Amino acid sequence: METKRRTLLGIILVLVGLVLLLDNLHLIPGLPHYVFHWANIFLVIAVINLFSGNRKPAFIFLVIWAFFTLDRYYYVDFEDYWPLIIVAVGISFIIKNKASGVSGTSENYFDDINIFGGSNKRITSQNFEGGKSTNIFGGSTIDLRESKPVDGATIQVFTMFGGCDIIAPPEWDMIIDTTSIFGAFDDKRESSNAKTDYKIYVKGFALFGGGSLKSAK
């Protein structure tokens, strides 16, 4: 499934890039100019995230696209309306929580939110199921070295102008499946020949931010 999604993403980017190139070279006559407006890149990113199952960033980029598209027809002062982006992030959190029915923090699951701030968490659960780390103009450090995860444990990461560091043993089989725009999420742990039988997934989205897996602080 993930391979198909990445293939779809690659096809979309190749097609968009070729069309924009041909338009710049004036080799595609008669196409409406609004199709090539720079703000449409946010619409493309929204669609890509929607197909990838990342509804939260898809909603945020859709709002950003609508904002800049509206500005083409009506004067909109960005300094007055930029807080709408924060409103969009808040609405996406509410929608996702209602859809999943999961909220709060339990012994085996964490839910960490940092806005213009930071946090350090040490997880010691011996039946660790995963968690969420949301960082907007902030950052977090999640220490998992004293925990024992279940197979398929999933950590959802959302960073916007922020970051998240996850500290985990190098032998843990951790799979990073994140979407990053002007950012990255990397595995910086020490190399290890031993691998656990269980898998832990790190999924999510990063905009002008990211994070990393580390073996130590």
Question: What pLDDT sits at residue 98?
Answer: 46
Residue 197 φ/ψ region, left for φ over 0, alpha for ψ in the -120 to 50 degree band, beta for the rest: alpha
Residues 210 and 108 both lie in one domain: yes
The domain boundary residue, chosen from 68, 83, 99: 99
Is the separation of the CB atoms in 67 and 217 below 8 Å? no
Question: What pLDDT sits at residue 179?
Answer: 79
pTM of the complete model: 0.59
Is the separation of the CB atoms in 139 and 163 below 8 Å? yes
- DSSP H or E segment with residue 18: helix 2-24
Q: How far does CA 174 lie from the centroid of its chain?
A: 17
C-alpha to C-alpha distance for 110 and 113, rounded to whole angstroms = 10
Residues 87 and 140 both lie in one domain: no
> What Cα–Cα distance (Å) separates residue 99 from each residue in 32, 95, 103, 198?
38, 6, 11, 27
Question: What pLDDT sits at residue 202?
Answer: 93
Question: What pLDDT sits at residue 214?
Answer: 93
Question: What pLDDT sits at residue 101?
Answer: 43
C-alpha to C-alpha distance for 62 and 69, rounded to whole angstroms = 10
Structural domain harbouring 8:
2-99
Q: Return the residue matching tokens 């020949």.
A: 193
Give, for all 217 residues of the chain, the pLDDT tens digit.
Answer: 445 555 666 677 677 777 777 777 777 666 665 566 677 777 877 777 676 666 766 777 787 787 777 766 666 665 666 676 677 666 666 655 544 444 445 688 988 888 778 889 999 999 999 998 888 888 899 999 999 999 999 998 988 888 999 999 999 999 998 877 778 888 899 888 888 888 999 988 887 888 999 988 7
Of 161, 80, 156, 79, which Cα lies nearest the Cα of 115?
161
Q: Is 213 helix (H, G, I), strand (E, B) or coil?
A: strand
Total tally of structural domains belonging to the chain? 2
Residues 109 and 95 both lie in one domain: no
Q: How far does CA 29 lie from the centroid of its chain?
A: 37
Residues 56 and 71 both lie in one domain: yes
Residues 132 and 115 both lie in one domain: yes
Residues 30 and 121 both lie in one domain: no
**Token duo for residue 148:** 């024992």
Residues 52 and 136 both lie in one domain: no
The domain boundary residue, chosen from 68, 99, 130: 99
C-alpha to C-alpha distance for 179 and 183, rounded to whole angstroms = 9
Residues 128 and 202 both lie in one domain: yes
Q: What is the radius of gyration, based on Cα positions, of the chain? A: 20
The domain boundary residue, chosen from 30, 65, 99: 99
